[in-house]
Amino acid sequence: MDMRVAEHHEVRTRDINSAFFAMLENLPLVQLTAIATVLLVALFFISGADANTFVLSMLSSKGTLDPGKPVLVMWGGLTGACAVLLLVVGGLTALQQAAMLSALPFTLIVALLGASLIIELRRDHEFTAFRHARLKDLPVKRGPSVKGSDD
């Protein structure tokens, strides 16, 4: 038993993916769980690529919710070609680094959106009354009274 633990530790420290499949070997129905895992990972990446293609197509089609097929095919092809090129040239590490670098502009955009929300809430006259109020101090809005009620 100690030998299997040492072997599992060696695999785990070498590569996280190998460690995951080594862990699956300790479960019942090894082949079935390995196939299910590969299928689920593939579905995860395919659905992510599909969503990426759809969002890029919407943004390049002036925000329409129904971008044309040529635009979808163009963005899908460009995204796939970039992924294949990065895998061929630099392997998985290059693909991971490109994904991290492409997330940086979105991080800045989200930060700017948060700042603009705060600025607009400070300018909003309806929000001014609620800025420093406690829940018990807030005015209660009541709807029209119903005949026969005790209010």
Q: What is the pLDDT of residues 92-121, one digit of tens each?
A: 777 778 778 878 888 898 999 999 998 988
What the block records as the tokens of 96 is: 């991971």
Q: What is the mean pLDDT of residues 21-36?
A: 82
pLDDT of the residue at 144: 66
**In this structure, what is the dihedral angle of CA atoms 44, 46, 49, 51, given to the nearest 10 degrees?**
-70
Of 54 and 9, which is predicted with more confidence? 54
pLDDT of the residue at 149: 52
Of 35-39, 57-61, 132-136, 147-151, the poorest mean pLDDT is in 147-151
Answer whether residue 9 shows pLDDT above 70.
no
* CA atoms in the 13 A half-sphere facing the CB of 36: 7
pLDDT of the residue at 114: 94
> Measured between alpha carbons, how far is residue 40 from residues 28, 34, 36 in Å?
18, 10, 6
pLDDT of the residue at 71: 92
**In this structure, what is the dihedral angle of CA atoms 102, 106, 107, 109, given to the nearest 10 degrees?**
150
Alpha-carbon distance of 47 to 72, in angstroms, equals 14
pLDDT of the residue at 113: 93
Alpha-helical runs (H) found in the chain: 2-14, 16-24, 30-60, 69-123, 125-128
pTM, entire model: 0.51
Q: What is the mean pLDDT of residues 60-65?
A: 86
Dihedral sign (CA 56, 60, 65, 67): negative
Alpha-carbon distance of 81 to 86, in angstroms, equals 9
